């Protein structure tokens, strides 16, 4: 299997930075990811390895990027404190903070949840999903906070995986969106596939993709002076597609506060209310939190459920809106 890609530099691309050129050609990797790939010696120019993202390319240069040169057979341990909400012999319940990737991938080999799990539990985790995803049964986005279940053995992983496949897991998220979603309560059922223009993003598709179902209800609408209308929404997922809630909100003509990928490019409002603007600016990613998770315990044959509180940035913004609304 060929895991490398070659590019031949044309005159129009000469003198571009290496990382900029590659990020333009490989649109499913961010420029930050590209830099990391270069720095771990996975890129060659004219058969010579380079570690300089800023290196200028020249006409007729041959650039080769090899994604498997530094193949990882196992996850290196990282000493990262975990917020563990429950643990027994079969499962862990972890409250993942914003900014943490769940498992290693292109450009993210360290400081993921998987790295932290390996440091604390070593080989006492399931390996059904391979050595790069120890104990990982499901995922949430990097900038989404909240509850995840981790399997400590393969039997538990298998039984949990079956529940996810049958959509019997109960997953509830809280989010803040711009405007009001109509109807105030409902279900969104579409196909979701990769965005054809940007492979890093997902999009609703009419003819291809995986079925995605999001049930939602509006908990409160904030209609405040000098601030656009904002709604607090609870979403219950029947399926767990990549970026599902964010894609479905975009499909309904709105977006999550703080969502730089799927958000509206221009939200018009007066900046008279500086405190609101400051709270909005302090959001670390989208206002989306995996609040609760319920399932049949894989060995005890009883229903269990777990919840986690909102992260501070989300909580502070919501509290500000609540106070203004009286």
Instruction: Give pLDDT, residue 95.
Output: 98
Q: Tell me if the bond preceding 13 is cis, omega within 30° of 0.
A: no
Instruction: Give pLDDT, residue 69.
Output: 38
Q: What integer is the mean pLDDT of 32-48? A: 85
Q: How much of the chain, in percent, has pLDDT values that exceed 70?
A: 91
Instruction: Give pLDDT, residue 326.
Output: 66
pLDDT 10s digits, 147-190? 999 999 988 988 898 899 889 999 999 999 999 999 999 999 99
CA separation for the pair 129, 163 (Å, rounded): 16
CA separation for the pair 102, 77 (Å, rounded): 14
Domains with residue ranges and CATH for the chain: 4-66 (3.10.290.10), 72-166 (3.30.2350.10), 167-326 (3.30.2350.10)
DSSP E strand stretches across the chain: 4-8, 43-45, 48-49, 62-66, 84-87, 91-96, 145-151, 170-178, 185-194, 202-205, 210-222, 230-237, 288-296, 303-307
Q: Is the pLDDT of residue 59 over 90?
A: yes
Which carries the bigger pLDDT value, residue 227 or residue 271?
227
Band (113; pLDDT cuts 50, 70, 90): very high
Q: How much of the chain, in percent, has pLDDT values that exceed 90?
A: 66
Instruction: Give pLDDT, residue 177.
Output: 97
Band (191; pLDDT cuts 50, 70, 90): very high
Helix, strand, coil: what percent of the chain each, to 5?
20, 30, 50
Instruction: Give pLDDT, residue 70.
Output: 45
pLDDT 10s digits, 163-173? 998 899 999 99
Instruction: Give pLDDT, residue 73.
Output: 57
Name the average pLDDT for the chain. Answer: 89
Catalytic residues: 141
Which carries the bigger pLDDT value, residue 252 or residue 161?
252
Q: Is the pLDDT of residue 107 over 70?
A: no
Instruction: Give pLDDT, residue 269.
Output: 60
Q: What integer is the mean pLDDT of 288-317? A: 96
Instruction: Give pLDDT, residue 106.
Output: 64
**Kind of pairing, strands 288-296 and 230-237?**
unpaired
Backbone angles phi, psi at 312, to 5 degrees: -60, -40
CA separation for the pair 80, 49 (Å, rounded): 32
Q: Is the pLDDT of residue 265 over 70?
A: no
CA quadruple 227, 228, 233, 238: dihedral sign: negative
Instruction: Give pLDDT, residue 185.
Output: 98
CA separation for the pair 282, 250 (Å, rounded): 22
Band (3; pLDDT cuts 50, 70, 90): low
pLDDT 10s digits, 204-239? 999 899 999 999 999 999 998 888 899 999 999 999
Q: Is the pLDDT of residue 1 over 50?
A: no
Q: Is the pLDDT of residue 123 over 90?
A: no
Q: Is the pLDDT of residue 257 over 80?
A: yes
Backbone angles phi, psi at 122, to 5 degrees: 55, -115
């Amino acid at each position: 299997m060929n895991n490398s890609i070659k590019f031949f530099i044309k005159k129009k691309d000469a003198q571009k930075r290496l990382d900029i050129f590659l990020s333009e050609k490989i649109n499913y990797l961010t420029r930050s990811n590209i830099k990391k790939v270069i720095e771990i010696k996975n890129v060659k120019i004219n058969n010579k390895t380079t570690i300089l993202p800023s290196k200028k390319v020249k006409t007729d240069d041959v650039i080769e990027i090899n994604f498997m040169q530094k193949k990882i057979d196992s996850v290196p341990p990282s000493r990262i404190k975990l917020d563990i909400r429950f643990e027994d012999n079969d499962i862990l319940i972890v409250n993942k903070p914003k900014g943490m990737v769940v498992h290693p991938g292109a450009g993210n080999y360290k400081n993921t949840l998987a790295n932290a799990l390996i440091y604390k539990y070593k080989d006492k985790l399931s390996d059904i999903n391979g050595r790069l995803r120890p104990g990982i049964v499901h995922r949430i986005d990097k900038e989404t906070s909240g509850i995840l279940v981790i399997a400590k053995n393969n039997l538990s992983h298998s039984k949990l995986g079956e529940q996810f496949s049958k959509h019997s897991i109960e997953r509830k998220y809280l989010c803040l969106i711009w405007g009001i979603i109509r109807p105030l309560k409902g279900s969104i059922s579409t196909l979701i596939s990769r965005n054809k223009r940007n492979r890093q993003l997902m999009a609703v598709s009419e003819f291809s993709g995986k079925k995605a179902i999001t049930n939602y209800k509006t908990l409160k609408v904030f209609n405040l002076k000098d601030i656009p209308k904002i709604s607090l929404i609870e979403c219950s997922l029947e399926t767990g597609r990549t970026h599902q809630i964010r894609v479905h909100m975009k499909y309904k003509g709105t977006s999550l506060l703080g969502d730089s990928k799927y958000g509206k490019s221009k939200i018009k409002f007066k900046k008279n209310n500086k405190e609101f603007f400051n709270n909005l600016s302090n959001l670390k990613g989208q206002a989306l939190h995996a609040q609760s998770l319920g399932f049949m315990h894989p060995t005890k044959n009883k229903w269990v459920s777990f919840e986690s509180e909102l992260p501070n940035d989300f909580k502070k913004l919501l509290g500000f809106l609540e106070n203004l609304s009286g």
